[in-house]
Amino acid sequence: MTMAKPAFSLPMLFLAVLIMSFSSGGTLRLVHGQRTWCVAKPSSDDATLLANINYACSQVDCTVLQKGWPCFYPDNLMSHASVAMNLYYQGKGRNPWNCNFKNSALVVMTDPSYGSCGYLFQ
């Protein structure tokens, strides 16, 4: 007795789901419950990154960025801004508008945590 072949192979099914996930305009529509994080765009300048850190940390607790805490290293604006922006994004409900920062941020679906610095996911 031979088994019938499935109508879709796993790669084809994945592609179909991916295509159906895009809304008009080429924007990826996230599936409910999808884990996402907010990080600084690599093209952001230092003044923008510093402004983002200051704003985010005025709204949420950024203690993890202080010297001696898990996310202090690497001690640079790009890393600190990404952590602060993500803390804000996570704390405000992971809405797309909470990861805009005047178009200097990106929503990512890959956990940017490193070493002992865990990017929170609520």
What does the pLDDT look like over 48-70, one tens digit per residue? 999 999 999 999 999 999 999 99
User: Token pair for residue 75?
Assistant: 């001690």
pLDDT at 115: 84
* 84 close to 105: Cβ distance less than 8 angstroms: no
Residues in CB range of 18: below 8 A, 6 or more apart: none
Residues in CB range of 76: below 8 A, 6 or more apart: none
pLDDT at 121: 52
**What is the CATH number assigned to the segment(s) 34-122?**
1.20.58.1040
Average pLDDT over residues 108-114: 89
Has residue 20 got a pLDDT over 80?
no
Instruction: Please give the Cα distance from 108 to 59 (Å, whole number).
Output: 21
Structure pTM? 0.72
pLDDT at 50: 98
Instruction: Please give the Cα distance from 11 to 1 (Å, whole number).
Output: 26
Q: How confident is the model at residue 108 (pLDDT cuts 50, 70, 90)?
A: very high
Has residue 42 got a pLDDT over 90?
yes
The structural domains of the chain, with segments of one domain joined by +, span 34-122
Asked if the peptide bond before residue 70 counts as cis, ω within 30 degrees of 0, the response is no
Average pLDDT over residues 76-93: 95
For residue 104, the 8-state DSSP code is T
